[in-house]
Amino acid sequence: MFVTDWSLALCSSSFHNDKPRTPSLHIKATSFLPRFNHTQAKLLLRLNNHIQQQILTQSPLAIPYSLLPNTPTHHDLIAKLPSLRYFADQENSSPLFDSEAWQETSLLITPSSIGVELLLGFYEPYREWLRSTQHPHTPQLAKIMAHPPLHVWKPLWLDARGDEQMFYLYLEAIAQDHHLDATMLAHGVAHAKCLHSLGRKLVEHGHLASPPPTLTSKLDWSPRRSSERQALHNEYRRDVCRHYAKSLLPGVAQAIVAKLAPTSAGAQSLCREFASICEEEGEHVEHAIMLSPTAPLINLALFFDWALRRHLPNCPLPDALLGNELYQITTASNSLRQKYVDFSDCLQQQPQLGKMLALPNACLINTAVPTASAALSAAPTTTEVRPIAMLPTQTRLKKIAGIELSKIKTRSRKEYLQLEQQYIDSLAIDEKESVLGIKKYMQASVFEKQLRPRIISFMIENPSVWNRTEAIKALQVFDSN
């Protein structure tokens, strides 16, 4: 199974919090809520592995309750999972899951846009670029995904018991060059027995040639296991690239065209053809240039980037690339599908061509790209500010409810808390328990910020809980002035 960088850090931090004398891995400026104890954190790795398999096979994402033992600790883990969020700081966070549905035998969950990449352990560079340019306050995945997913041998993981599982993670992290030092494991005689028993199991499973004589000894890893590990890593990365090509790149292409060339008929036509290629060729897409250990630039995405430049006169490719064989393929008279096949074959046969991506403007993700209006004309951009009365009905109601909610918080803390409690009481039992569980682990200001969109929707659906009529009248008077 594969353990993502952030889940390894979360697991290590939980283990260290419960047992302070053990080593810990920390990722700076990141945090995940709600909190998990180290038993739950280790089980979270199993859940993440189950979720990875379902994402990559395009299966409905269901977590059977029977996947975990029937104990209160495991019930609490299942209840917390849908509310898992990544916090870049106290104000900015992103959920890993957009929705959940509690069924009789399983939990159905839908990963969020950013959640898919976090759960799989690789981020798509163009999506990261779009996030940074369109939503600068959205947490950036490059900051917390420094290492590729850690391969863990599932039979050994299941054979290990208690603290052995955590120390096994550390040993694999050392073996896979996650910038750990074996001396981290020498944290007192209390763990010597655990590490000794783990060493025997490593030998029994064929991972070590012999048990380490001391806690800080250099580990004699089996060459066969090392080569198998690398092969499995490569296979997993190819599976992720295929999934991203079929499931993510069509939406990425649409977002790029909407940002840079919303009125270009040629760009729109290219986007439609590209979506068709993603659907038909996605199963065969597995080649990528690794911009970093966790950022595979899929050949198909780079091909779209270069093909789109013909429709962006103010954002051309650098002159140094115009005579290049790859660029000439994108301008040939063949069909778009044949151009892509030739482009990918050429890039695979001449991998040194990937070095050209270091040139300024060689791909959209390494340059400051002009806005859509600037890319198509020199006309200055302006932002239209419409009065509330001119907004669409649903948008207008959300705006009105949001303004009134802010007034309620300013006017009376007691009144706001009553409204918040009304919303919580309206939830189903399972969802209510989940929300109250999250509240225990968050600062009040952060919890209220995360709850705000839900309360606004609740206000729209339940006019009786606030004076909606008067609020609308007041805003209509404001608009008329």
Digit-coded pLDDT (tens) for 302-331: 999 999 988 888 888 888 787 788 888 888
- Whether 328 and 401 map to the same domain: the answer is no
Domain termination site, one of 169, 204, 239: 204
- Whether 90 and 196 map to the same domain: the answer is yes
Predicted pLDDT of residue 271: 92
- Whether 84 and 197 map to the same domain: the answer is yes
Domain count, the chain: 3
- Whether 117 and 6 map to the same domain: the answer is yes
Domain contains 257: yes
Predicted pLDDT of residue 192: 61
- Whether 309 and 395 map to the same domain: the answer is no
Between residues 134 and 201, which one has the greater pLDDT?
201
SS3 of 271, please? helix
Beta carbons of 139 and 88 less than 8 angstroms apart:
yes
Burial of 335 (0-12, 13-18, 19+ CB in 10 A): exposed
Q: Which of 95, 99, 124, 100 is nearest to 246 (CA)?
A: 124
User: What are the tens digits of pLDDT across the range 421-479?
Assistant: 888 888 878 678 767 866 765 667 767 877 888 888 888 778 777 765 554 554 444 34
User: What are the tens digits of pLDDT across the range 187-236?
Assistant: 433 456 677 788 788 888 877 777 665 544 455 566 667 788 888 989 99
Give the Cα separation of 369 and 133 in Å (integer).
Answer: 9
Domain contains 307: yes
Domain contains 383: no
Average pLDDT (381-390) is: 37
Domain termination site, one of 172, 204, 236: 204
Beta carbons of 82 and 433 less than 8 angstroms apart:
no
Four-residue CA torsion sign, 302, 303, 304, 308: positive
- Whether 152 and 197 map to the same domain: the answer is yes
- Whether 50 and 131 map to the same domain: the answer is yes
Predicted pLDDT of residue 408: 86
Domain contains 142: yes
Range of the domain at 38: 2-204
Q: Which of 431, 432, 438 is nearest to 35 (CA)?
A: 438
Answer whether residue 398 shows pLDDT above 90: no
Domain termination site, one of 354, 376, 398: 376
Domain contains 136: yes
Give the Cα separation of 402 and 411 in Å (integer).
Answer: 14
- Whether 293 and 372 map to the same domain: the answer is yes
Domain contains 211: no
Other C-beta atoms closer than 10 Å to the C-beta of 46 total 15
User: Which pTM was predicted?
Assistant: 0.71
- Whether 135 and 44 map to the same domain: the answer is yes
Burial of 219 (0-12, 13-18, 19+ CB in 10 A): middle
- Whether 406 and 372 map to the same domain: the answer is no
Predicted pLDDT of residue 269: 92
Domain contains 117: yes
